[in-house]
Structures are given as structure tokens and as C-alpha cells.
Amino acid sequence: MKDPYVYQGTNVLINKLNIKDGDTLDKAESDFAGLAANRLRKSDFQIDSILDGLKIHKYLFSNLYEWAGQPRTIDIYKGESILDGKSIDYVFASYIIQALKDLDKEYQSVDWKKLNSKEKIEKVCYFVSEFWHIHPFREGNTRTTAMLLCFLIKKAGLHVNSDFLSKNGKYFRNALVLNSLYSNSKPEYILGIVSDATSVKNISNKKYETIDGFEVNKYSYTNHTVDKIKTIKKPEDWIK
């Protein structure tokens, strides 16, 4: 399968700056998205729908990618260090919008005022984990999910330490991975880090050096690929 998002013969994403070196693009992406995230946090933006995650992605990445804010059009695979190189089963591209709409129906049914702080955190973790599991975009899913988390926490009437989440970004990403394994999911890790991020307590740095026995500093970024697509579960299995 040909990947229409990359320059021919490379795994470098086609971008508005025409950068064709992977490391240079990674640096530019980090800089642009970081600045955009800071501006967005300070803005009056708020979440009214799970589909507003598309707006977040566009805000973060529109300076680099023409497809910012648009669902991916191809199915992808990404080997995870914590899963010994295996990938999460992401939603098929053709079902992304429907999956997001189904998730939004659940979101719209929540009455945040009736929930205590623990219940709010559990709900937020559920929604961001499901959003990430859908993996709506060709790239930038985790950073978009982190921003979605911040705004959902705010919507729930709580405060989140975004600097804490950013500092422990590798742990956060692996926590999302571990909570996306269907019947083998382990939600305790995403619940733990989000609970700590909403707390005013001082948290030991050592707490987030390992996750499920995996040393976080051994996490290495790998590109999404279209070369190892597997047969994914039925659509009705993706959200539940």
C-alpha cells in the first residue's frame, strides 16, 4: 500500500516547509506544536464535543501539514516498545468519523455536576483513551490527546498541571497504549498519572520512571507505517 502522506521513497511526511529530513521535521514539528499548544491553553477555547479534537489537531499542526485537523485516509500500524514491537489495533480509516460520533454520544450524556472528583477523572481518562485508541490522524495523535485531556479536565471543573504531563510525556503515551488493549487493558496507569496531574502534591520523579515493568527512558519513537496492517476487530468492538 502506498502512503500518500510521505515523500516518495521516504517515511518523511509531506509538509508545507518542504523539509525532507526526518530529524529536521521532527524538530520543526515539536517547535510549532509546542508554541501552538501554549497559545491554545491561554485562549478561550473549550470542548463542546469530542469531535472538537479535530479542531485541536488543526490548531497544533496547521503550520506544517495541509491535512491538519482531518481524519487520516489510510490504515496505519505502529510498533510499540512496551508491546515488544506490536501495534495497537487502531480504527479503520473509513470508520473514524463514526467512531468519534459514537464516543461523542457518550460524552454528551455525562452530567459533570453530579460526579465527584474521582469519578470526573475516571470519565476524562475514558474519553481521552478512547479518542487516542481511535487514532484519528496520520500523525500528532498523542499531542492532540494531551490537549484534549487538559480541556476536558477544565470542562469537568478541575485543574490539570500540563507541565507535569509534558514532563512525563513518554509515560503518558505508554499509559494510553496499555489502556488500549481491549480485554487486556490496564487503566490504572492512565488513571494514576492523570490523578497526579490534577493534584497539588509533590510527586517523586522516580514514580514515572517505569510503567508495567517497562523503563520509560527505553521508549523510542517509531514512525507509523502502512506496511504491516493487520485484520482489525469488528467496528462494534472498537469503542467498547
Give the angle 69-145-185 at the CA atoms, nearest 5°: 130
User: pLDDT tens across 126-181, in order?
Assistant: 999 999 999 999 999 999 999 999 999 999 999 999 889 999 999 999 999 999 99
User: pLDDT tens across 26-47, in order?
Assistant: 999 999 999 999 999 999 999 9
Amino acid at 146: A
The 8-class DSSP code of residue 13 comes to B
CATH class of 22-239: mainly alpha
What is the model's pLDDT at position 228? 57
What is the model's pLDDT at position 181? 94
Q: Which three cell numbers stand for residue 229?
A: 496492517
- Tell whether pTM > 0.95: no
CA 31 to chain centre: 18
What is the model's pLDDT at position 200? 66
Q: Rounded to an integer, what distance in angstroms lies between the CA atom of residue 68 and that of residue 140?
A: 9
Asked if residue 237 has pLDDT above 80, the reply is no
What are phi and psi for residue 233, nearest 5 degrees?
-60, 165
N-to-C CA span, the chain = 29
What is the model's pLDDT at position 178? 97
Q: Could you count the other beta carbons within 10 Å of the beta carbon of residue 186?
A: 15
